[in-house]
């Protein structure tokens, strides 16, 4: 029966080549993309890479979110990039705008100051709504209600290696809550009061924290002086595979609400990357976080390229390991390895 066949193999429409599925267990998971209509071409390019390296075998659904309605063209030309289910969600007004306690004149003044100082996205209002949304609201969208895991994808990124296992299944089977590929240092000028605001919250919410003396405590990833200051290390959140339940947890939401009340998403330019990362460091254990070393991933201006044995010659990757951001002085990967007492060998999953 054709339907049964389709469940077990994938037949490339152009070449007729049949490929076996590598797993039968399905995870409740999806790609989640916040995107604007005008980013259509760049998004299609990201989708092409994701489908070609992974999803043609697994058919995980795509979820697109926008604070404006998607155009018919956008919907048609993204639907046509995949055989998997696609859905298009509108962001609700309260998740994309100013909460009542924000002084909008002050916010405007701060944007002007930060733009004059040449801080990246310092003058942008929409970028701040985006960062707040990615920090506190994307995971609350009803389209994510039935999901255990999300994989964040952005326009104009590349996946340069074949992914011949199911990362969602890996997360599930190993009880992982958060996965990353690139970690780096944030610009201090975007987050001057984030750490003090975080410390206030920690003081009031000890019950949520991984105990300080737990050998799996991750706080040393984000502070070099026992909590006095933030060392600016964070996971680059344009790539994330994460647990929806973790972000919807009382602990994470309480942390986000505290940050939101403080106003730093608007008076400074707090990014969702440091927010997610500090939360991960406070609330998760080392074994709940995974470095997806075996994924070739590029989001300009940086990329991660695994230095896997024979991977280039076998055609598994098209990136150049020597250009990997891991080698940069600004990478926090060495810190991650030190804090978790691991080496790259601990992060090789792919077999073939």
Please give the residue ranges that form the binding site for ligand GDP (CB under 6 A).
34-36, 39, 66-67, 126, 130, 154-155, 238
d(CA 317, CA 49): 12
- Closer CB to ligand GDP, residue 186 or residue 326? 186
Report yes or no: 237 and 134 within 8 Å, Cβ to Cβ.
yes
Return the active site residues: 240
Determine if 224 is a binding residue for Mn ion (CB under 5 A).
Answer: no
Find residue 89's DSSP bridge partners.
Answer: 65
Q: What is the largest CA-CA distance in the chain?
A: 66
Residue 304, beta-bridge partner list: 297
- Sign, CA dihedral 295-298-302-303, equals positive
- Taking the C-alpha atoms of residue 114 and residue 46, their distance in angstroms, rounded to an integer, is 31
- Can you tell me the distance from the alpha carbon of 66 to that of 304, in angstroms, rounded to the nearest whole number? 28
Q: CA dist 189 to 114, 124, 269, Å?
A: 8, 15, 8
Residue-wise burial string across 35-73, b where 16 or more C-beta atoms lie within 10 A, e elsewhere: bbeebbeebbebbebbbebbbbbbebbbbbbbbeebeee
The residue among 155 and 264 lying less far from Mn ion, judged by its C-beta, is 155
Closest CA to 154 of 27, 33, 70, 36: 33
Nearer to ligand GDP, 126 or 330 (CB): 126
CB nearer to ligand GDP: pick between 39 and 164: 39
Select from 148, 154, 164, 307 the one that contacts Mn ion (CB under 5 A).
154
The nearer residue to Mn ion, 130 or 218, going by C-beta atoms, is: 130
Is 39 a binding residue for Mn ion by CB under 5 A? The answer is no
Choices 22-30, 79-87, 125-133, 238-246 (CB under 5 A): range interacting with Mn ion: 238-246
Q: Which does 155 bind (CB under 5 to 8 A by kind): Mn ion, ligand GDP, none?
A: ligand GDP
Interface with Mn ion (CB under 5 A)? 154, 238
């Amino acid at each position: 029966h054709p339907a049964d066949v389709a469940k077990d193999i994938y037949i490339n429409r152009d070449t007729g080549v049949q490929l076996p599925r590598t797993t039968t267990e399905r995870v409740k998971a999806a790609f989640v993309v916040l995107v604007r209509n005008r980013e259509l071409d760049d998004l299609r390019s990201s989708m092409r890479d994701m489908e070609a390296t992974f999803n043609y075998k697994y058919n995980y659904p795509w979820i697109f979110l926008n604070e404006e309605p998607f155009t018919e063209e956008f919907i048609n030309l993204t639907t046509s990039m995949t055989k998997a289910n696609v859905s298009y969600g509108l962001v609700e007004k309260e998740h994309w705008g100013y909460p009542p306690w924000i002084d909008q004149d002050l916010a405007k003044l701060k944007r002007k100051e930060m733009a004059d100082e040449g801080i990246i996205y310092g003058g942008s209002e929409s970028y701040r709504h985006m960062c707040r949304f990615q920090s506190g609201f994307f995971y609350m969208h009803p389209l994510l209600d039935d999901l255990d895991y999300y994989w964040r994808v952005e326009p104009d990124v590349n996946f340069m290696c074949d992914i011949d296992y199911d990362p969602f299944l890996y997360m599930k089977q190993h009880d992982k809550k958060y996965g990353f590929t690139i970690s780096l240092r944030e610009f201090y000028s975007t987050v001057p009061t984030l750490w003090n605001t975080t410390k206030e919250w920690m003081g009031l919410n000890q019950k949520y924290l991984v105990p300080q003396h737990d050998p799996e405590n991750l706080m040393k990833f984000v502070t070099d002086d026992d909590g006095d200051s933030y060392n600016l290390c964070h996971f680059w959140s344009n790539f994330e595979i994460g647990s929806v339940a973790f972000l919807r947890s009382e602990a994470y939401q309480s942390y986000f609400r505290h940050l939101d009340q403080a106003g730093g998403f608007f008076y400074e330019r707090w990014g969702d990357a440091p927010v997610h990362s500090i939360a991960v460091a406070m609330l998760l254990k080392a074994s709940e976080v995974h470095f997806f070393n075996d994924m070739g991933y590029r989001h300009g201006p940086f990329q991660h390229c695994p230095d896997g044995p024979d991977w280039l010659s076998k055609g598994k990757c098209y990136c150049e390991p020597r250009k990997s951001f891991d080698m940069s002085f600004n990478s926090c990967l060495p810190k991650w390895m030190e804090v978790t007492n691991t080496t790259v060998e601990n992060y090789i999953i792919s077999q073939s």
